Each structure stands twice: as structure tokens, then as C-alpha cells.
Structure 1
Amino acid sequence: MRRIAIVALLATVSSVATAQEKPNVVIMLGDNVGYGDIGAYGGGDVRGMPTPRIDEIASSGLRFTQYLVEPACTPSRAALMTGRYSVRSGLSTIIVGGTPNTLQENEVTLGELFKSQGYATGIVGKWHLGASEQSWPTRQGFDEYKVGVLESTDGTLYRDSMQRAGMPEAAIAAAEPWVWESDAEGKLQKVRPYTVEYRRQVEGDIAEAAIEYIDREANAKQPFFLYVGFTHTHYPTLAGPDFTGKSRIGVYGDAVMELDFRTGQILDAIKTAGIEDNTIVIWLSDNAAAPTAGPFDSRSGSNGPFRGELGDALEGSVRTVGMIKWPGKITPRASNEMVAVHDWFPTLASIIGAKVPTDRPIDGVDQSAFLTGAQPKSNRDSLITFLGEEIAAVRWREFRLYPKQFVPSEGNPSMYGLGGNRVETTGFPLVFNIEADQREEVNIIGTAAWVIGPYLKAIGEYQKTLEQYPNPKAVSLTEFGK
């Protein structure tokens, strides 16, 4: 009943535009695509894997060179959907099947914002915000879900590894991931097992489902919101047969080139449908690449000039690809103004005339005036990075500060991000000037101690909100009974 009340409340808000004037919105989200993977960011053909269609969005829209996210798949997706730090929804760690962390029924999502303004809402591809019914996209504001990857692509490897471990077939079957699809009532049905073999096909099926949705909804009388959750370049990085060997650098490059091709198919569908001028296209990555994870030939992901990778708290983990195209409304350009994944929620709410909830903290800021050029500067100058419940880092302007020193794991480079640890410092935070020192190698606390003031202010403002809105207990797989 609470969910129905929330949606009803949002639906009563007057829109700033008529249905005919409201733009369609398509968000495409890459999975573990690094800052240095895409041509517009210095990768692409230079690295043996051209990305002309993604670059096309960058050249015809606004490309962010300082787009910041959260350190892993689930946290960033939670932040995108809710406009809140993932720790506020108990989703600041990667969801693993069988654990209790899941998107709660009372969260308000982008899907619900768009539904409140009369939009048709659809999602294809990866979700990774929980497999319980309250967390399904179709229970979180989306009308339909196709080619549904509820969890992580890692699950495609479970069957072989569990068989080698001698696990009983019943246990293997329970852990095996599936591809899902919603029925007319929004209930999810299993379509097929998500296997290593199907891993090579899934990206094409995601694009095909997105194209079918665009073709159908372009002829309807209501605007639409489509969320496309790609699975490339998440490990195992296995591209479709038509893309195997396409790049000059191996399987990772092949996957990037397929991702680019699938992006182009969706762009072409928008153009063919005659709705390009009234459709906002947003292309993002959820977090950084993992260049030390997996077999050697799949480690070609690049986080550009920044140190760090998927799962840690360094700049290279949270600074990645982000761009938006809106013909006639957003002037093509690149900007180094700070924008965060959390900002899409209030920004899109402003664009479509939806009301942002006032009964909970919203960490995103409205960037609509900056996007359209009505103001030259972003409305953001800081961002907190969490690892689990812990504040691991704070960005303020060009400075990055760490309460504790992050130490990569030793002996197993594929655990660089997820297996690293934090150790106490001398009582002062580590301070790095990201613009002068992109690798974060020179601690400047001795000459920049004044930055501690803004750092403490950002943390204090966040902590103040916890007095009225405490965070749920985060799931821990190492600490029990606390």
C-alpha cells in the first residue's frame, strides 16, 4: 500500500510540459567500461577497438570528463535509480545471490518518476538490484522487463566451478542464473538459463528487445523511458560470434566493439522511428574497468590516466564514461564540470516535471540548467565514496581525500579492487590533487591541510542527515552478529 501511495502522490504533481512536449528518454548503461576504453576518452581505435557509434553520441552531445559514480555494479545502479548514496538503501556492496540485501519496496526509482508523468517505462538487460519480488523492475515503476539479467554475469561461471567442487545438482540448480521476462501482470518468468554459451548471445538479444520497444512506443500517444542495461564488458568478456576477432587486442576489445555496434543499432532505431529530435539519449558506464581481473587476454580494460579499478575507492574506480545527447536543447561540447551518477534522478525529474521525494535525503543535484547551458557551472563540487558502510574517500573540487590509506591486495592482482584493504593513517587524511597528480602518488597534506575544512563539511552535512534518516544496516559477509 505504501508503494501505491507514493506513486499516486507523484502522479498528482502538475507537469511543466504537455505529454506531446515531453522528450522520450533512453539510458544505455555499460558494465565495467573504463574511462580509457572509449574513443572519445582517448581509447577506441588508438587501443585497437574502434567505438564510432558511442563516439557519435559524445560528438553530438555533452561529454563529461569528470563523471563520477560509485565503486561497483550494485552501488552505482542503486544510486542511478534512486538519486541517493547507495548506503542509504543498504546497497553499498555488490549483491550476491542468496544474501538479504535487495532494493526495498519503499524506494522511489526513476521508473516511478517517469510513470508519475504519464510515461511508458521499459527495461531490457541487467538490473542487479535484487531478485526478490519487491525489487523486480516491474515492482519498481517499470511496465515491462525483457532479456532480464537480474544478477551479475559472474553467475555464468557457477555451474562449472560448482561441479568441479562436487556440489550436488540441487545446489547447482539453485545457484544457476536465469534470463527473465515479465508477463502482462509484471510477474517475472524464467526464459532460459544464463550460461557461458548464452553469454555470447545476450548482448544482441538486449539490443533487439530495445529496438522492438522503441519501434512500438514511437507510434504510441505517450512518451517513453527505456533503460538498457548492457552486460559488456563484464567478465567473462565473451563477444558474439560476429565480433570474435574483430578487435586488434583480443576478447576484451571484441566485447567493446560489440557494445559499440549494439549502441549503434539502438541509435539507428531511434532515428528510423522519426523521434531523434525529441529523444534524450544518455550513455554511461556503471563503474570502472577491472584491468587486473580474469585471464590475461581479458584484462585490456583501461581507466585512462587514473589509478584504481572496479571495487576500490581510488579515482580510477569512480571516474568513468558519461555523455548525454538532446538535439536542439544541449549544445555539443565537452565539460570538466563535476557530475555524479546520483544527479540523473533530480535532473530528469526537473526535465519531465516530476516531483522529487521530500521524505528522504536525495544526494543528487539538479543539473538541468547546466546541461542546457542556462548556467555555465555544475551544481556539484563534492562527492563521498563509500565501501560498505565506511566513508572511504571524499572528492572536493580537484582534491581527493582519504580517511584511511587504501592498500591493494598482494599476490593476486585480480583482487586489486575487491580484495584491497584500508589501513589507519597518521590522524590526518591523505590528500591528492587529482588534476596535478592523476595517479594519486604524492600526498600533499603538508601543503594543503586547509582542504580538511571542506572535507569535514561534506562529511558533516551527510552525517547530519543520518539523525533523522539513519541508514539500514549494510550486509556484511565477514562480520556477523553485530
Structure 2
Amino acid sequence: MKCILMSALLLTTVTTGAMAQEQRPNVVIMLGDNVGYGDIGAYGAGEIRGMPTPRIDQLASESLRLTQYLVEPACSPSRAALLTGRYSVRSGLNGVIIGGTPNTLQAGEVTLAELFKTKGYATAIAGKWHLGADEQSWPTRQGFDEYHVGVLESTDGTLYRESMQRQGMPEQAIVGAEPSVWESEPDGTLKKVRPYTLEYRKQVEGDIAKASVDFIDRASKGNEPFFLYVGWTHTHYPTRTAPEFEGKSRIGIYGDAVMELDFRTGQVLDAIKAAGIEQNTIVIWLSDNAAAPTAGPFDTRYGFNGPFREMVSVHDFLPTLASIIDAEVPTDRPIDGVDQSAFFTGAQEKSNRESLITFVADEVAGVRWRSFRLYPKQFVMAGGNPSMNGLAGNRMEMNGFPAIYNIEADPREEVNVVGTAAWVVGPYLRVIGDYQKSLVDHPNPKGFSLTEFGK
């Protein structure tokens, strides 16, 4: 087996040999939730931080590492980017989806699962979705045959009951706001199977792993290849683990959750091996948007994003996997991902990507070009390192000049080199200009804001 590892928590195994049509590979994507670059042993954490991750580290040891892998800066945007190959702003999903708001994945989007279906794949998802609860947005209406242990919303919702009880809210209102766990019927209809509570939070990761293992066992015996998307809920707050992982790490509940996530990952990898399909299965392990050390209860803030600024892109998977399985990428809309299949399989030395735009709401927040990152507005946070604050940071106008960092020389982005590297503004403006041209025929939908109304 030839393996590929990409940094920022992306591990991929790729089969050797030609991807002949009759030998199309199975694909398993595992997505961690709020896991930091600096939380995994393969990136210098693990035992050193009191929370070993042997299964993920083993996968890393068999893999090729990329040094500049980028995602979008929040849960819903990264998931939208992963499944559509497009900047999340193009689908109106560039903010975190909160239940009760109109943000939702539209029926007209073409997802990775829908591309796999065009090539005869069996498709399934287990775990977190977070791309909207409207029926048009359900995984089973977006190319997935099955949905198990379905967490449609964010895990934040498990805190609603306790918070609402403190405010004296009636039980009927609490039940209406409390998230649920869902399962799909044979016709794709979703049904509630239980409330998603703090108590069930202890059990959910094990159930996601079991559902994934069961699907792999069933699908591997079929006559068609399969695509499985595993949406883990660790290490998103509020953190709870199965009893056997309580006290497992040396740093408390966050470390316990990292170690359970590692174990559950191993269960999925073991199922692939037990099914005898290792040599024809691509496995992708990644995190959605890095750790959130400024969010949630204090004892869950131990996630670490390593030495890099949290603007960590998943857009390339759709065109890359489409190329591998010989599926057609949509041509009626902008696709921001690039085909990396030759790079991932070793046929070429370098990546096909040299730039990426990152958005906060519908505003360009940063532009990556080669080894430089430019910010139209500088991120500032009084009394703290801006690289640790992400969306919690404030942004400030810089007198008409962008802040420029050479992240190869300065990975923590502490030295603004606008005075000596202003020439980078030329490529920066070209990247922005190309994006703006794409909006002429394909304008972005109006995004939803919880702070600006009537616009």
C-alpha cells in the first residue's frame, strides 16, 4: 500500500497501481471536529502532551506529509468546502449554521457523494453533518444512501437544556430547542431516534464508530465500491467521553477525548483491514477547522494549533477524487478546488495550488499566495496572540495597506513585511481579481447574519 499524509490533520492512504474503471477504490473520509494540529502525536504532541495517539501516528508513519494544507475557519464552511469543492461563500454557508436560522445546503449544490453516485458507488455517512436541517439539506437528499447516528447540528446544542432550565424555560420549549440524533429510513427520510444530550455525548463517538464498521462490513461484500464519510464529534465542546476513557490522559477531559478519537479511528481502520480491502481503499483523515482554545468551558480549551496561524483548504478533494474515480466535475458553476491526483499519487513533485482566499462572513479575510499570507485587515486581540484567536479575534483597518507575512520564514506570523515585500500585492490583487470576475456570472447568494438585518 502506498500512503500519503498531508499536514493540518489530513492522512490519506492510496492504492498502488492504475485506477482502472473496474477497480475503482473505496473511499473513507474521517473528519475530526475542532482537533488541533498540535493535538496529534505525529505533529509533536501525543505522549509529550499526555495524550498518546498511536493509531493516527501509525497511519502518519506510513504516509507522505504535506506542509501547507488549508481548510476554512469554522465547522459549516469547511464541511461545505469539502463536499462541494467551492468556497463556502458561494453556497451561502460561510458562517457557522445555528439551528433556527435559514442557513442550509441548497438542493442545487453538487456534492462529493452525488459524484460518487454517478459512478455506481454505495454511499453512507455516520455522525456530524452541520450543513442544515432542512429536508433539501439532509445527507440523504445530497447523494448519501444512508445516514447513521446523525448529528445534524453542532454539539453546542447539548448544553441548551441546562442553560434553558436555569432560565426557567418550559419543558416544551427545551425539547423544541434540544438537538436530536437521527437515522435514515430506506427511502431517505430521517427519523429522530433520541435526544442529543450531555449524557449521550459520552456514547456518541462509540456509536459513530460502530455504525461505520457495520457499513464497511456490509458494503465490502457488495458488488459496487463504496464511499463512507465519518463525521466525528470529538474534540468539540462540551467534551464527554465513554467511561473507559475517563482519566485516560494526563491532561484531563480534553486529552481523554483525543485518545478516544484515536481509538475510534483505529476501529474504522481495523474494519477496513478485516474486510480485506486495504489495497483498494483511500482513507482521508482530517480536521474541520482546527482547535478552538478560546471557546467552550475552560477544561476543554487545551486544543493546540501548533505553530501556524489558524487559517487552516479542503476544496481540492472533490476534483481530486472525481479524477481518481473518473467522475465529471460540474462545469456550470465555479469550482475552487484543483485536481491534486497527480501530486497525491507521486506522479508529480509539486502541488497544483498556489493561492487560496479565506473569508469571514462574505468578506475577504485573507489571501494565501505561495509562501505569503496577506490580510486586508489585521487581526488583533488585546493581551493575546492573534494566531490563537481565529474568529474570536478582531480585525482592524491598516491605513489602506494589507498586512503581509512570509509564513515560510515566519510561521507564527509575527513580523509584518509589507515594507520589504510590497511586491506581493501584485499577485494578491490578481487572485482577488480572478475571484471577483467569477462573481459576474455566478454571484454569491446573500448570506445570513445574526447581527445585521434588513440588508
The one of 27, 42, 56 equivalent to 2:44 is 42
CA distance, structure 2, for counterparts of residue 194 and residue 252 of structure 1 = 20
Deviation string 1:146-195 (CA, Å, 9 cap, x unpaired) is 00000000000001101111222222111100000000100000010000
Q: Which residue of the other structure, out of 289, 292, 300, is the alignment partner of 1:290?
A: 292
Letter of the structure 2 residue corresponding to residue 64 of structure 1: L
Deviation, 1:126, is: 0.3
* C-alpha displacement of 1:290: 1.1
Name stretches of at least 5 consecutive residues in structure 1 with no aligned partner. Answer: 1-15, 307-314, 320-339
Give 1:418-433 correspondences, 5 Å limit.
418-433=391-406
**Partner letter of residue 354 of structure 2?**
D
Does residue 318 of structure 1 match 2:291? Answer: no
Superposed CA deviations along residues 56-114 of structure 1, whole A, max 9, x for unmatched, are 22222233331100000000000000000000000000000000010000000011000
| Secondary structure class of the residue paired with 1:432 | strand
Aligned to 1:58: 60
* Equivalent position SS for 1:78: helix
TM-score, normalised with respect to structure 2 = 0.93
Amino acid at match of 1:441: E
Correspondent of 1:171 among 170, 173, 176: 173
Partner residue, 1:232: 234
Shift of 1:298: 1.6
What is the aligned partner in structure 2 of residue 450 from structure 1?
423
Q: Which residue of 1 aligns with 2:9?
A: none
In the aligned structure 1, how far is the partner of 2:176 from the partner of 2:255? 33
Q: Which of 329, 334, 357 is the equivalent residue of 1:361?
A: 334
Written as runs of structure 1 = structure 2, the 5 A alignment for 1:251-330 is 251-306=253-308, 315=309, 317-319=310-312
Aligned pairs (5 A) from 1:82-481: 82-306=84-308, 315=309, 317-319=310-312, 340-408=313-381, 416-481=389-454
Alpha-carbon distance between aligned partners in 1 of 2:203 and 2:240, rounded to the nearest angstrom? 9
**2:218 alignment partner, SS class:** helix
- The CA distance in 1 between the partners of 2:314 and 2:151, in whole Å, is 21
Provide the rounded CA distance (Å) in 1 between the counterparts of 2:396 and 2:268: 45
Determine what percentage of the aligned residue pairs are the same residue.
75
2:127 aligned partner, one-letter code: G
Q: Secondary structure at 2:110's aligned position in 1?
A: coil
Contact 1:113 1:349 in 2 (8 A): yes
* CA drift at 1:397: 1.0
Greater mean deviation of Cα atoms: 169-178 or 293-302: 293-302
What is the aligned-residue RMSD (CA, Å)?
A: 1.5
Contact 2:293 2:389 in 1 (8 A): no
Q: Which residue of 2 aligns with 1:6?
A: none
Change (3 A) 1:74 1:384: same
- C-alpha separation between the residues in 1 aligned to 2:420 and 2:372? 13
TM-score (normalizing by structure 1)? 0.88
Q: Equivalent residue of 1:94, what SS? A: coil
CA distance in 2 between counterparts of 1:103 and 1:227 reads 17
Other-structure match for 1:311: none
Distance 2:179 2:299 in 1: 25
Q: What SS does the corresponding residue of 1:190 show, helix, strand or coil?
A: strand
Q: Which secondary structure does the structure 2 equivalent of 1:65 belong to?
A: coil
Give 3-state SS (helix, strand or coil) of 1:406's partner: strand
Q: Counterparts of 1:172 and 1:416 in 2: how far apart (Å)?
A: 31
3-state SS of paired residue (1:36): helix
| 1:110-167 Cα deviation digits (max 9, x unpaired) | 1100000000000000000000000000000000000000000000000110111122
**Residues 94 and 360 in structure 2, CA contact (< 8 A), matched pair in contact too:** yes
Q: Deviations over 1:3-52 (max 9, x none)?
A: xxxxxxxxxxxxx9665300000000000111111111111111111111
1:30 to 2:20 alignment: no
CA distance in 2, matches of 1:25, 1:479: 41
Q: Kindly tell me: are residues 410 and 89 of structure 1, through their superposed partners in 2, closer, same or farther at Cα, counting changes over 3 Å?
A: farther
Contact 2:238/2:297, CA 8 A, preserved across alignment: no
Shift of 1:294: 2.6
Q: Quickly say closer, same or farther: Cα 1:46–1:262, change in 2 above 3 A.
A: same
CA distance in 2, matches of 1:439, 1:416: 13
Structure 2: state its 5+ residue gaps: 1-17
Structure 1 214/409 Cα, relative in aligned 2: closer, same or farther at 3 Å? farther
- CA shift, 1:296, in A, is 2.8
CA contact (8 A) 2:90 2:444 kept: yes
1:174 maps to amino acid? G
Count of residue pairs brought into register by the alignment: 436
Supply the distance in 2 between the matched residues of 1:19 and 1:268 (Cα, whole angstroms): 26
In 2: Cα distance, 1:128 partner to 1:401 partner: 29
